[in-house]
Structure 1
Amino acid sequence: MSTSSSSESAGATVNRKVHDALPGAVADKIPHIPESKEELKAEIKAEAKAAASTSFAQLRSFVAGGFGGVCAVVVGHPFDLVKVRLQTAEKGVYSSALDVVRKSVAKDGLRRGLYAGVSAPLVGVTPMFAVSFWGYDLGKTIVRSTTGAAPDSNLSIGQIAGAGFFSAIPMTAITAPFERVKVILQVQGQKTLAPGEKPKYSGGTDVVRQLYKEGGIRSVFRGSAATLARDGPGSAAYFAAYEYIKRKLTPKDPITGEASGKLSLTAITCAGAAAGVAMWIPVFPIDTVKSRLQTAEGNVTIGGVVKGLYSKGGYKAFFPGFGPALARAVPANAATFLGVELAHQAMNKVFN
């Protein structure tokens, strides 16, 4: 054995043999083996730092998403209440969205009339939106790792949509039961009670207790499949539309075409509003089925709900409340993304 080879470390020997045996383009993609203890320590430290940075970024996405969700509920709940009541009421109960508002306020006043059932989304919205934005951030990480995209590179709109779809998977575990409670309380509020009659449910906790007593955990989570069927493609359209519009509105250098400035809060608000509309258009019929499924009494199936809706009103039966849903999507999602961006800016000032 020569002097040079005897002084060469095992790692260096393997690296050299791999480089000599394979084409350069292939060898460059093979993981490099540390050639000394110092190099090994440096690589471990770098990987630990990168992992910590990724985890912290995901935590910040979680916090920002939760704050954005609270903003969405405060702004959008009255619109959502009108949508659900139109979706679930029998034909002829309401003549229009404004009629829902008028009758709800006349019966229960402005606050109780327009914010019936708000306790469930307020309690659940922080983890719901937090998990959504955390899942979206994780989805982008997975897309980058599977496609080989650089950590700081811009993903294509198709890849953004894929990450958005992924965000709905963990979110469904939270969204389905909370929306079940919310729509039950919203629908209960439109029932006319006999003199001395009390509402069936006294609040969100009572809804969960009675549902569990009647049908166990399956009853509490009824509508989970329909929720995922709505939120998967809906979230894909949601994040893809937001990112697309953000890129179009971001100031660019006229020569290079590269981004030359930060997006204004007004532009963020517009992008968020448009994203909300883009989310609802393709999935609204699924949302109608979900609302009916989650408020129906007894054992019902998705197929049974679909057949029942179609037999009563054809395709139009799947779109009651479509106007209020779009009307809600604009301010609620503008508030969501504005809240998320403001939360990120606040955390950047504190931690960066």
Structure 2
Amino acid sequence: MSDVAKTVKDLTAGTAGGIAQVLVGQPFDIVKVRMQTAPKGTYHGMLHCAGGILKNEGPLAFYKGTVPPLLGIGVCVSIQFGAMEYSKRFFGARNLANGIGGPDGLTLDGAQLFGSGVFAGLANGVVSGPVEHIRIRLQTQSATNPVYSGPWDAVRKIYSTNGIAGIYKGQAVTFLREASGYGMYFLAYEKLMQHEMASKGIKRDQVHPAKAVLFGAAAGYALWAVIYPIDMVKSRMQTDGFSAADGQKYKSSIDCVRTVWRTEGISAFTRGLSPTLIRSPFANGATFLGFEMASRLLNSWFQ
């Protein structure tokens, strides 16, 4: 298979994983975002928040703002896996030239896997920043008096008043989240896959699909263990006003951290963690299952 074909295959398989992630994880995500961004004391817990959404906005509200993530996260996860697999091949070629990393050089060490994950996260962050910004604006706006009629209306209005900087609001903290989180995410998943293949003497496409789900779930927990406080700051920045006249609370991400710490305490940095921990194994298990199964199918087609 040529390098171009491999890249197309990785991007396509990543898209399958991203669509699976959104469909499984979106209802949990809206609860997380509402809890992260609401004033202290608004919700007593995850069930209180979810119950309020169901009662006041109906069941379809759990998929509010789904169009941008369904399109955007599909692209984002496609980029993640495309960049990750490209980086793995890059390190694999170097390993092969140096006579390490197994017969094909692709048994990467921890530093190489973490570095590949960081590269994947940064590449992904270029798209995920604005996608999540628009999604969060839609998820947190009033149901009775919405500012935006949909994702494209949100993009148009934000761009018309604040330019490209408005679309990319909270981008610095997004890059920090993506780089650190996906470094750990792919490190955890790939190490588990390496152990499974080595312990059973099998190839990657022989690993049972259930293991992909299990390893994806574990990788998801590794990711959130690293990034949750960063994600909370990102959510606050992306729901904040664009100027003082627009109700802006935070001058920067650092100012956001200081203000939240001073006014709400350390517990604010883990608010909304419960729906995230419940969502994570399902969404991330589905992501890696979708990627692995699509990869196997595409490999059989391109042989």
- Among 177, 181, 190, the alignment partner of 1:243 is 190
| 1:349 equivalent in structure 2 | 300
C-alpha separation in 2, matches of 1:349 and 1:142 = 23
Shift of 1:199: 1.0
Q: Which amino acid aligns with 1:78?
A: P
1:83 aligns with 2:27: no
| 1:132 equivalent in structure 2 | 80
Deviation sequence 1:83-107 (CA, Å, 0-9, x none): 1111000112111111111111111
| 1:265 equivalent in structure 2 | 209
Matches within 5 A, 1:1-352: 53-110=2-59, 112-145=60-93, 148=97, 152-153=104-105, 154-188=107-141, 191=142, 193=144, 198-250=145-197, 252=199, 258-259=201-202, 262-299=206-243, 300-352=251-303
* 8 Å contact kept, 2:19–2:70: yes
Q: 1:344 to 1:149 in 2, by over 3 A?
A: farther
Deviation sequence 1:143-171 (CA, Å, 0-9, x none): 34555456822111221111111111221
Shift of 1:349: 2.3
- Detail structure 1 runs of 4+ shifted over 4 Å in the superposition: 145-151
Q: Which amino acid aligns with 2:175?
A: L
Deviation sequence 1:234-256 (CA, Å, 0-9, x none): 00110110011223333735xxx
| 2:248 equivalent in structure 1 | none
Q: 1:146 to 1:316 in 2, by over 3 A?
A: farther
Shift of 1:183: 0.6
* TM-score normalised by length of structure 1: 0.78
Q: Which amino acid aligns with 1:132?
A: Q
Shift of 1:348: 2.0
* 8 Å contact kept, 1:68–1:337: yes
Q: Which amino acid aligns with 2:149?
A: S
Deviation sequence 1:276-297 (CA, Å, 0-9, x none): 1100101111100000001101
C-alpha separation in 1, matches of 2:207 and 2:82 = 22
* 8 Å contact kept, 2:40–2:264: no
Shift of 1:123: 1.6
Shift of 1:260: 7.1
Q: Which amino acid aligns with 1:214?
A: T
Q: Aligned pair count? A: 290
Shift of 1:60: 0.6
C-alpha separation in 2, matches of 1:103 and 1:270 = 32
C-alpha separation in 1, matches of 2:189 and 2:98 = 21
Shift of 1:275: 0.5
Q: What is the aligned-residue RMSD (CA, Å)?
A: 1.8
Identity %: 33
* 8 Å contact kept, 1:84–1:183: yes
* 8 Å contact kept, 1:133–1:167: yes
C-alpha separation in 1, matches of 2:149 and 2:98 = 52
Report the structure number with the largest CA radius of gyration. 1
Deviation sequence 1:188-239 (CA, Å, 0-9, x none): 1xx364xxxx311100011111111121000001111111100101001101
Deviation sequence 1:300-351 (CA, Å, 0-9, x none): 3112211111012222111111121121111000000000011012112222
C-alpha separation in 1, matches of 2:140 and 2:286 = 26
User: In structure 1, the residue corresponding to 2:19 is in which secondary structure?
Assistant: helix
* 8 Å contact kept, 1:107–1:113: no
Q: Which amino acid aligns with 2:239?
A: T
Residue segments in structure 1 that go unaligned for 5+ positions in a row? 1-51
